[in-house]
Structure formats: structure tokens, C-alpha cells
Chains A and B, each alone.
Chain A
Amino acid sequence: MAAAESAKIIVNGLKDAGISIIVTLPDINLSDLLREVEETKDVIHVPLCREEEGMGICAGGYLVGKKCAAIMQNGGFFNSNNAIVSTLLQYQVPVLLWIYYAGDIGDRTFASTGGMTEPVLQALGIRYYVMRDIDDAPELIKRAQILAEDGKKPIALLLTKEVLGRRAALKSL
């Protein structure tokens, strides 16, 4: 599926899950998705300078009753760790973390970043789901938001090139 089409499905899924504030920082593989976020009405889009500030913005939005999501690369997730621990986890704040999975199998860059992504999420006790099939995306997003709210914690969805429409899906992944 084309990247632009995947982007539409994902952003519609976010809106259906009730997300109204989305903080983002670009990655080339997220470009179609971020263009879709920019063009979407009904959500407040906050372009960040560094991902950690986005955790604060999402916490602030949640505290006044908004559902929030962050879209970033896994390097940005690493940048955000102090805020995730001492704000999101300490105050029990649900946020959807959309993490582009750089260094995934088949990539020629960021192997160490890719290799540490799931172990760090596990160490933080953040439940995560690797998204590979765009057809599952709308339902997966809805369920992830329910889990975030019910568990009062951030939930991570790992965005692969497959789900972003940038690489063919494999049956065994």
C-alpha cells in the first residue's frame, strides 16, 4: 500500500480513538504521516524541537482532559526517557507513543538504535505492539488507547516501514 494511503488510515484511526493533541518530530520515513497530521483538522498539531518536551505537552493536555499522542523516531523515544519516567509513569499519564522503528530488520542504518528499542520499552514496563499490517491499524489504535487509559500508562506502537507503506510486508514477521 502506498505511504500516503497508510498515513490516512493511521491518522483516521487516531481521530477515531479520540486523540486531539499530536506532538511530532520528523523522520524521513514519517514524512507522509506527518503531512497527513498537518493537514488534518480537529487535532492540534505541535511540531517539537526535541521529543522530551513533547512528553510534557502530552501530560499537560491529558491533565485538562485531552487525549494525546506523540509521533517520533526511536532515537527521540530515547531522548524522552527522563520525562517518560518522572512525569508519565510517576503521575500515571496515558499517552500513545508512536515510535518509528529505525534499525528494524532489513534497514541499513541505526541497527544499535533498533536493537535497544524493545529492551528499553521492556525495562520501563511500557507495553508495546509492533505494527506491520496496515489493515489492522484502525483496530489496533483503538485497542491501544483503551489499554493506555485503563492502565493509566503510556503505550507504544512501533511503526515499521511495512505499516508506513514503505516496504513490502512479510508473512513471517
Chain B
Amino acid sequence: MKRYDCLQALVAEIKDALVVSSAGAMTLEWNALHPSDGNFRVRTLGLCSSIALGMALGLPHRKVVALDGDGSLLMNLCSLPTIARMRPSNLVHIVFDNEVYEASGSKKTATGAGTDLVGMARAAGIKNSHWSKTVEEFAAAAATALRGTELCFIGAKVTTERTAVPPFPIDEVENKYRFMRHIEQSEKIEIFKVNLPASYT
């Protein structure tokens, strides 16, 4: 199964969901398939699911999707019990498991030696944790998760194949501002209040 094909299947279901994606080529593929100011690229390996959890808790009526990788989740495994404990019904945690640290030279991760991330998610307390073995299964699981109201963990074993796509066009700070302006517009809230210096008033 190719990650790009899974991401392509996800586009049809994403609607106004916020998408947090882990460092690496997956972010570029996702952004090429679904460019949006509601996409947030993570720079700290491991933090993808934690940032998504913070968003899900802060905006409980809005779907949040974490597009995670095996190397990333392995670095922040304690995120699984924390997510299970908080149980946000609007969070969908997707892990594309290609069994290598793809962005760091493709050395094998622990999942390549048998570690089962879906098993770990379930054991951490996320009951709705399943593997998708085909693109069709993945598309169905993503549709159920995004239309439903239950915390979900979806694992997808994928090949290491990358699809040639353009680079992510913006830096971290612009990503932040675009994302937060997108939240302001779509949620009709004001986040940034510019306070004028006292001498102006």
C-alpha cells in the first residue's frame, strides 16, 4: 500500500477538519493533495499527536486529524495514554507505518522489528484502534472516523515509496499565522488583538 494513495482517499473525507502532519515527505504529499491553511506542519519529531490533542481539546466541536509516522510516534509513545485518558471524541490519529525513519536516512524503526503500534494504542486505552491493510480498508476506516464521534486510531502499513511533489511553500511562522487566521475566519473568533501603545490612545 502506498501512503500517497491513502492520503488521496482521505481528501474526500477531510471537509473542514484541521490536519496536523508530522515532519517528512508525508507533509509535502498531503499539502500537494489538499492545500489548505488548515494544515499544520510539525517540526519536532514526536509532537504531531500532542499538538493535535491540544487542538482537539481547545476546539471540541471541530474534527482534528493527526497524520503521524512510526518513527514520530515511537519517540512520543506517552502521547497514547494521555490521549486515551483525555478521550477527545473529535480526534482521529492516523499513523503511516513504513518501518523506517524516512526523513532521517531510512534506518529501520522498531516497528520493522515487530513492534505493533495499533496494539500499543489499544493497550494504552484507545479501544477503537485498527490496522487498515488495503487502500479500500483505509478509505472506509477514515470515512467512519471522520463522520463519527469517537476517538479513533488508524494504523496503515505503507511502502517507503515517495511521490514527487513540490516543497512545502511556507516557513513555520507563516504556517502558524495562516493556520490561526484560518481558525479565526472559520470559527468566527478573534485570537489576535493588537494593543496600541498608550501614546496612541
Contacts and interface: CB of A to CB of B under 8 A. Distances in A.
Interface stretch (B48-56, B93-101, B131-139, B150-158): B48-56
Contact of B53 (A52, A56, A66): A56
Nearest to A59: B51
A34 interface: no
Nearest to B173: A92
Interface stretch (B3-11, B76-84, B105-113, B115-123): B76-84
Nearest to A83: B44
Interface residues of B, number: 40
B183 A91 contact: no
B59 interface: yes
Contacts, number: 118
B198 interface: no
Contact of A48 (B43, B78, B184): B78
A58 interface: yes
Given A63-B183, A93-B176, A52 B76 contact: yes
A81 B176 CA distance: 20
Contact of A21 (B54, B76, B85, B184): B54
A53 B76 contact: yes
Interface residues of A, number: 33
B82 A91 contact: no
A49 interface: yes
A63 B176 contact: yes
A49 B78 contact: yes
Of the candidates A49, A53, A93, the one having the most CB atoms from chain B within 10 angstroms of its own CB is A53
A60 interface: yes
A49 B54 contact: no
B191 to A, nearest CB: 4
A47 interface: yes
B58 interface: yes
B76 A65 contact: no
B168 interface: no
A143 interface: no
A27 B48 CA distance: 26
B166 to A, nearest CB: 22
Interface of B: 18, 20, 40, 42-44, 46-59, 62, 76, 78-79, 81-82, 85-86, 172-173, 175-176, 179-180, 183-184, 187, 189, 191, 195
Interface of A: 20-21, 44, 46-50, 52-66, 68, 82-83, 86-87, 90-93, 150
